[in-house]
Structure 1
């Protein structure tokens, strides 16, 4: 099966899966398959019940509910992608753009170790350096400067930034105490506010930024940020 057909089949599968578990499917699902990432950009995704929760400013309840459902869906999505693409499937990151009724899944194929920076595709050196510095500045405000940072232009509309070594001592202790879910909710709120209130990204990327997503893998001490233009 060629890549275009794999992407179409994966879009259909994920749309139906979300509809079956959330009661309402997304308006559109865009899948991009290519080493080392598989990205799934979802738009128009919010059930009537979730709209009520948003109106009542109960975003934390909405996110917790979605996270519970995703815990059961992630193994199914990874298994499907492994069979469809033939790739070895690794880490899975996801985030919700509730204000835009959007979502992003990022699946790592093969070895999930960070790729060398020189392997970045399609990014001018000046753009990459400016983007990395802005992410470093933001990271210092919310946690600490990453030990390593790498970015990849997946396609003209999608940039992925990986950070390694971002957790501070108090965060590692909270995780050890079983408070990983609470920590992730807090980091989502803090980092997304910093990302969305930053007025430099559009100038750096040379395009309007429609969505920004962020997720963490606490076990690997890694984070993924996705810019959608």
Structure 2
């Protein structure tokens, strides 16, 4: 694991306490990155005893409603902490959970920062190749995106913003409150697609987790890829 910067280590301690205060326990592991244009926060082992009971009884919808309600109460404080200790203001805050891995991702665009693929990609990798392959993955579950922008956050996370991507079926899913079904379909299709493997081949890294957030009002979505540690 890459060594945390002092400010990231300080903010990690503050945010872990926030989770303990609201959830009753904090994650066992938190990785934060503050490098523009995105803030990212990956959490591991956040499942509370109450959530574990709901999960074991397949009450997934109730579990997510409870968790999302608690997180929404944390977000204003998270924003205040980032502004107070790092001088960072977020334009938006997105989040998604991987209950099977007991993990989650929180991310947001830093206010005033522009999203440009070319500025954040390592020089030995082609963002154009990656984005072209991602086009092929997405078209299996949604319409072909009008535009894709990809940015690295630290050394393990790639955030892909998809513009003009939601199909009419996808929009109906979101309108009816079936975001989780749409997310699961996207993740399953992406994971089974041969093109998904070509993403890993191009990166020379495996994709350990994928997090998804759809925005019906702006007809866009975010895919967040967590990669394995670089060798």
The TM-score range, normalised by the shorter chain, is 0.7 to 0.9
Q: Does 1:224 align with 2:222?
A: yes
Offset at residue 112 of structure 1 (A): 6.6
SS at match of 1:162: strand
Offset at residue 5 of structure 1 (A): 2.6
> 2:206 is matched with which residue?
208
RMSD of aligned alpha carbons = 2.4
Residues 40-84 of structure 1: per-residue CA shift (max 9 Å, x gap):
011121112222222223322222221222222222212221222
Offset at residue 85 of structure 1 (A): 1.7
Distance 1:95 1:111, change over 3 A: same
Conserved 8 A contact 2:38-2:110: yes
- Per the normalisation by structure 2, the TM-score is 0.84
Distance 1:118 1:62 in 2: 39
Offset at residue 96 of structure 1 (A): 0.7
SS at match of 2:100: helix
> 1:121 is matched with which residue?
121
Residues 82-103 of structure 1: per-residue CA shift (max 9 Å, x gap):
2222123211111111111111
**Structure 1 unaligned blocks of 5 or more:** none
Deviates more, 1:128-137 or 1:75-84: 128-137
Residues 165-203 of structure 1: per-residue CA shift (max 9 Å, x gap):
22234555676xx64xx1322222211222333451322
- Per the normalisation by structure 1, the TM-score is 0.85
Distance 2:192 2:61 in 1: 20
> 2:188 is matched with which residue?
193
Offset at residue 30 of structure 1 (A): 1.2
**Structure 2 unaligned blocks of 5 or more:** none
Conserved 8 A contact 1:29-1:41: yes
Offset at residue 125 of structure 1 (A): 5.0
Conserved 8 A contact 1:196-1:212: no
